Each structure stands twice: as structure tokens, then as C-alpha cells.
Structure 1
Amino acid sequence: MECIEYEIKHAIEHMMETNYPRKKLWDMDSKVPELIRGIRAGDDAVVIGKKVINMEGPYPLKLGSKTALIHTSCDVVAMGAKPLYAMDAIQAQNEEEIKMAVDGLKKQSIGLNIPIVGGNTQTEKELKSCVSVVVFGELICDKVITDGGAQAGDTIIMLGHPVEGDIGGRVQKAKNKFDTFLKILENDVEVHACKDASRGGWLCNILEMLAKAKKGIRINAIPYPRATRYLGTYLVCMDEDNLNDAINIAIDNRCPIIPFGKITEERTFKIGNKEYISEEKMNNIIKEFPYKY
């Protein structure tokens, strides 16, 4: 595992990147009466009524052709919603790049059963080639799964395969995780929080979950050795009493599930018996975060 102190420093810096736009747009939430989760929450997606919407990108065009729809859908499912359809925006240099992007997005769309129903494609020569995707979903239950709902005593698990490889492999791994997580919710397993271990890796995303929940953690296993690598897995917090039910569902779906820590009331970050973030430092992180729950 990398030097954990350096990775924690990197993770905290990454967490603060969206502070300015969030503060600047803070009052926008009040303009949408049906809004449940918006700019103030800073969650994985936006929730309006039962609709869950997420936008990601711009991705470099080659990467986006392999993963843009997968990654964008991931945050919709994390909040407890089934993705329904998507739109894309493609900037390419020529017809060959357009074909690469569209062919890759179509493979993702068919594999995940998320139709792409519209969007925009352009070839502005002075712009870099990239792609963005927006996914629209709908909650499968009345409850929204937030990334800041962890409770003291919760077990935290990593769910799913790291999403990597060719398009087919990425789609299969992502769909396996989506189906398993939604099945957990459909079977009334109470989940308190969920977040995608995306950019910043499991370490950064755990820290963000803790800052929003105003809690700490004691980690007793390492779910993946590279703490800040993009994984595409889920970080899920639930009561320990519900863990066996979640494990049984994951086994039935042949989906990896790794319990690796406990959420604590004490606002510290510990791995084993070593404290990496003190209560004072964690309180400062919480204070600097502009989120409102």
C-alpha cells in the first residue's frame, strides 16, 4: 500500500475541489420546489421527486467510449435508482472519432440496457476531443440512499468488482454490481449510505462520507491496496445485523463483498490501532466542507 499519509493529504485536496462552485450556486436549490437532493447536498446525483439524474465528464474521448455511460449510471444506482435512459454530448475531431465514441457508447448502452435517446455531436477543430453523459433514473423505493447517512456502529463494505478492462468486461462488472445493490434494496436490507469509489479511490470517498456524516472510522482490513485508484466499486454502510442478508444476496449474484471497517462516533480515522486523522483535524475537514444535510 502507498504511503497513507501522502494519500490522505491528496484525498483531502481532491475533496475540496468543488467547494467554490457549490458555494457560488448555493441558492439554486430553492428555485426547484420538487428538489430533494441538489447542489447543497453535493451527493452522487440530483434527486427531483422520484427522478434521479446524474451527469459526468467531460471524459477524454477514448476513455469515455469505454466507460462514460457506465460511470455516469453508477452514481444513479448508488442513490437507490434504476437507470432508465441517457443522453450524450460528443466533441470529436473527425468522423473516425465520432464513430469510435458512438460505437463504444452503444455497446455500453446495450450491455446495461440504458437507451441513449438524444444528445449533441460536434467537430470544433480547436477543442479537445471529449464526451459527457447524463443518465436519468427512478427510485425503486421511497428512500433515497445518500452518501452522508453513515451511523455510528455501521459496518462499511466494498461491493463489486473493480471496473476495468475492455468495454465488455467493464459492462459485465458494472451490471453485476448494479443488479446486486438494487437487489439488496429490493429485499429491504436497510442501507444507511452508499458512494462510488470513483476518482480519488476508496480513501477519498470514505473521507467524504465521514465528513458529511460527521463521523469517524476504524478500518480493520484493506479492501484494495491502492487507496486512491479509481475502482468503480461501491462503499456501503449498513447496520451489522443486516450484513449477512447482504452477503447472501452478493453470493447469489457472484458479486464480491468485503466488510472492512466500522463507523465510529469518535471523529477520527484509524487503520488498525494507528490514528491517521485526529479528531481536531477531522473537525476542521467537516468545517471546511460546504455540504448541508
Structure 2
Amino acid sequence: MGEYTCSTEQIAHAIRTYDGVRRKKEIGAMVRDLHIDSQAVIASFGEDAAVIKNGSDALLLAADGIWSKLMDADPYWAGYCAVLVNIHDIAAMGGRPLAMVDVFSLSDDRIKNLVIQGMHEASRQFGVPIVGGHLHPDAPYSVIDIAILGIAPIDSLIYSNTASAGDKVLIAIDLNGRVHPSCFLNWDSATLRTAEEVRGQIGVMQEIGTRKLVTAGKDISNPGIIGSLGMLLEVSGKGADIYLDKIPHPDLEKHKITFEHWLRMYPGMGFVLTAREECVDTITGLFDKHGMTACTIGTVNDSGELRIIHNDSSAIVFDFSKNGGVMHLGTYP
């Protein structure tokens, strides 16, 4: 399998039309309908977690639900991922996850037991307890949603909306994994790591925040590498030029996937970051110590366009002033 079997325009189209990207477009309408009026709320929509002032600290509050397709494919993995994605949201902001609560609707005891096993394993591995929640034991469907609470010093937070023109765009991913057997769009590295290893990887983001090494950051979620970067640029009101040959990836031949497929995958541990050039070596060194590959893949600019480039070919994935970006927040002028 060749790394670039598609043109840049074909890759851009595949990212724009991918369900993991398209499902985010409803967020903008919800944001416009919900009005926040609280001096304690420092940040909310567009960030991985809401930021609530609590003295010199910030409480970080986030929630995530699991795609029904994943629940149907593998209830155990759905339970594991329900915990994993929430921990990623807190880590992406430089926070320390404290505890979680869940809302569980179920129609089948077999599914219930498998989901709980997955949740328990992830909770144990990352050391973040599930302390309560709500159960619908007689629902006509099975769904798991989790909310998480985290904490960080206010002056150590990593936001999504603070990228600046001239910043370098970095990707940090644990490439030591596998395509998950139950979901071909999930890259699983976390279950292959020890508790000490995954906690160390999460801890890198806390150190980066404390040392103020990045200008912005976000976890790589369902929209994949480019889609998640698009969300960061959208709320920052910026654009970027991204070089496809700089994006780290596993052995595509070995794992029987294409490069375009890799760009859409949800990684077991992955973040997209922006940083000043003088901080790049320090950041990549920190991730390297914890088994993650981090490197520069492009540069932030004021264009309002996310452009992918390979050799002499380029294509615009998102034009935030025209097509609304990923979340359709309408933040770009």
C-alpha cells in the first residue's frame, strides 16, 4: 500500500466528508442557542473542557459520549473508550483528571457487563475513579456517556483558541499500537501500555502546561489528525499550511491501512499542538521520553484556511470564512 495513493484534493475531500468531521457541525448552532452568563466561567465551548475559576486553580469539566457504532461493534471497547476520551480532554488542557460520573442506558445485560468491564479497566489503568452517575436499566437502546472533573493551576492551562501566526504545528502520537480489531478507525496504543506508561504520557501535557511550552493544544479525537487541527484553528481564527510527508504514522504496510485512512483514525494517545519554534525541541524531547512520536508538520498563518501540501500539490481542507470549518462556530471574520 503506497502512502499517498490519493491526491491532496482527494484526501481533503475524504477528511471533509468523514462522519467524524461532519458530526461536529451541529455544535455551532447549539452554542448560539445556549447563553453563558457567569464570571466564574473562563472558557467553555470550543475547548476540550469548560474552565471554571476556583481560586488560583481552574476546575475543568467535560463530557463525552460514545458513538453508537462502536457500542454495536464492541461494548467492552466502548466502555474503555468512554473513559479514555474524557481523560484525553482534561490532559489536552494541561489538567489532572480527578474523577468521573456516568450516565448508562442499557437494553441488554450482556452489553452492560462488557461496558462496565471496559470502563473499570480504563479507570484502573489511568488511576481516575468513577464515583457515581445515573442508570437507565430499561432503555430501548444501550448508550454510555461520561462526564469528568479535572483541575489545573489557572496560569498553566492549555487552550485551543490561542494559536498565533508563525507558530509551529506539532503532532504527538503513540505509534506503538495496532488497528483495533473491533473498530478499523481506532488506533489502540493505550491497552498495550502499562498503567505507569499511560499516566506518564498524560503527565507530559501537565508539564508542558506548567512550563508554558505551547501556545495552544487539543487532543486528537473522532475527526482525526487534520479534523482535530481544524477545530483548533477554527476557534483560534487562524489557518495553517500542513505538509503531509511530515505527519508521523506507523508502518502502513504492516497494519494494512492507507495514509488517508490513518489521517481519519482516532489514536489511543495523541495531541495536536502549536508552539513557538524555540520550544519545539523541548516538547518533542518530553514526548520521546514517554514513548510518543512528536514532530513539526506545518506552520500557523492568518489565511483562515487549513491547507495540506505534498510535493507540488496542495488542497484546502477547510476555509473557515466560507464553509464554516468543523464546528461551524462562525468565529473567523
- Same fold (TM > 0.5): yes
What's 1:255 paired with?
A: 292
Could you tell me how far 1:189 is from its partner in structure 2?
A: 3.7
TM-score normalised by structure 2 residue count: 0.76
What's 1:43 paired with?
A: 47
What's 2:321 paired with?
A: 283
Structure 2 gap segments, 5+ residues each: 178-186, 250-258
Could you tell me how far 1:175 is from its partner in structure 2?
A: 3.2
What's 1:28 paired with?
A: 34
Distance 2:96 2:122 in 1: 16
More displaced 10-residue stretch of structure 1: 29-38 or 169-178: 169-178
What's 2:113 paired with?
A: 99
CA contact (8 A) 2:160 2:217 kept: yes
Could you tell me how far 1:90 is from its partner in structure 2?
A: 1.8
Could you tell me how far 1:207 is from its partner in structure 2?
A: 1.9
Decide whether aligned partners of structure 1 residues 136 and 12 sit closer, same or farther in structure 2, where only a CA change above 3 A counts. Answer: same
1:244 maps to 2:267: no
Paired letter, 1:233:
G
What's 2:235 paired with?
A: 212
CA contact (8 A) 2:284 2:294 kept: yes
CA contact (8 A) 1:54 1:135 kept: yes
Could you tell me how far 1:22 is from its partner in structure 2?
A: 3.7
Distance 1:109 1:198 in 2: 19
Could you tell me how far 1:71 is from its partner in structure 2?
A: 0.9
Distance 1:190 1:152 in 2: 16
Paired letter, 1:250:
F
More displaced 10-residue stretch of structure 1: 54-63 or 68-77: 54-63
- RMSD over equivalenced CA pairs, Å: 2.9
Bigger relative contact order, structure 1 or 2 (CA pairs below 8 A, ≥6 apart)? 2
Decide whether aligned partners of structure 1 residues 28 and 150 sit closer, same or farther in structure 2, where only a CA change above 3 A counts. Answer: same
What's 1:230 paired with?
A: 266
CA contact (8 A) 2:157 2:209 kept: no
Structure 1 gap segments, 5+ residues each: none
Could you tell me how far 1:20 is from its partner in structure 2?
A: 4.3
What's 1:145 paired with?
A: 158
CA contact (8 A) 2:156 2:209 kept: no
More displaced 10-residue stretch of structure 1: 146-155 or 172-181: 172-181
**Alignment: residue pair count:** 288
Paired letter, 1:228:
R
1:180 maps to 2:180: no
> Which aligned segments of 4 or more residues in structure 1 are displaced greater than 6 angstroms?
none
Is the partner of 1:199 in helix, strand or coil?
coil
Decide whether aligned partners of structure 1 residues 46 and 171 sit closer, same or farther in structure 2, where only a CA change above 3 A counts. Answer: farther
Paired letter, 2:41:
L
Paired letter, 1:133:
I
- 1:41-190 matches, within 5 Å, as 42-49=46-53, 50-59=58-67, 60=71, 61-124=75-138, 126-127=140-141, 129-161=142-174, 164-165=187-188, 168-169=191-192, 174-186=198-210, 188-190=211-213
Is the partner of 1:210 in helix, strand or coil?
helix
TM-score normalised by structure 1 residue count: 0.85
Could you tell me how far 1:170 is from its partner in structure 2?
A: 6.4
Is the partner of 2:191 in helix, strand or coil?
helix
Could you tell me how far 1:208 is from its partner in structure 2?
A: 2.2
